[in-house]
């Protein structure tokens, strides 16, 4: 059986490397996906990636993951602070998931400090830059039998 992780990147993460490099760095979404793919392979997992600026597309991908994935790594972007629907999708599919944020959201604006996912995520990685994706994958895959 093939073990697989779904990597979900939410709104505006397609602008990595361009949007506010002082906060998010100069690495691109392609760099993130390469780092994540390599980390998954090291753990013996395949990786499927999706990025969308549309909440419903992300929710549909999460729902589909229950068919062939063992876990989810998600950077929900701004949906972190606003989306009960995203939380419901993640808890509804009954897959362990890791919440990741490139920047230290706890050291930024007050509204970024709240996450609808914080209390249901199996793993949280915050403020480690794009290398945090590798950490999130390593920690999540360690929880999957």
Domain with 20 in it: 4-143
Residue 15 CB neighbour total at 10 angstroms:
14
Catalytic residue among 3, 24, 116, 133: 24
Question: How many structural domains comprise the chain?
Answer: 1
User: What is the Cα Rg of the chain in Å?
Assistant: 14
Which residues is 74 bridged to in the sheet? 8, 99
Encode pLDDT of 108-117 as tens digits.
878 888 899 9
Residue 42 CA: distances (Å) to CA of 31, 35, 60, 88, 136: 17, 11, 28, 30, 13
Residue 63 annotated in active site: no
Q: Report the predicted TM-score, pTM, of the whole model to 2 decimal places.
A: 0.95
- CA 135 to chain CA centroid, Å, is 11
Which residues is 71 bridged to in the sheet? 5
Catalytic residue among 3, 54, 63, 101: 101
Encode pLDDT of 53-72 as tens digits.
999 999 999 999 999 999 99
CATH (domain of 18): 3.40.50.9100
Residue 101 annotated in active site: yes
52 is in an annotated binding site: no
């Amino acid at each position: 059986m093939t073990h697989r992780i779904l990597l979900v990147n939410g709104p505006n993460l397609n602008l990595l490397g361009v949007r506010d490099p002082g906060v998010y760095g100069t690495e691109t979404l392609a760099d993130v996906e390469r780092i994540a793919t390599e980390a998954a392979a090291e753990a013996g997992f395949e990786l499927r990636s999706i990025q969308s600026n549309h909440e419903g597309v992300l929710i549909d991908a999460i729902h589909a993951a229950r068919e062939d994935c063992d876990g989810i790594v998600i950077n929900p972007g701004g949906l972190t602070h606003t989306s009960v629907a995203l939380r419901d999708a993640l808890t509804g599919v009954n897959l362990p998931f890791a919440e990741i944020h490139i920047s230290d959201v706890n050291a930024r604006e007050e509204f970024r400090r709240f996450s609808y996912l914080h209390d249901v995520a199996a793993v949280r990685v915050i403020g480690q830059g794009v290398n945090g994706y590798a950490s999130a994958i390593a920690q999540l895959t360690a929880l999957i039998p």
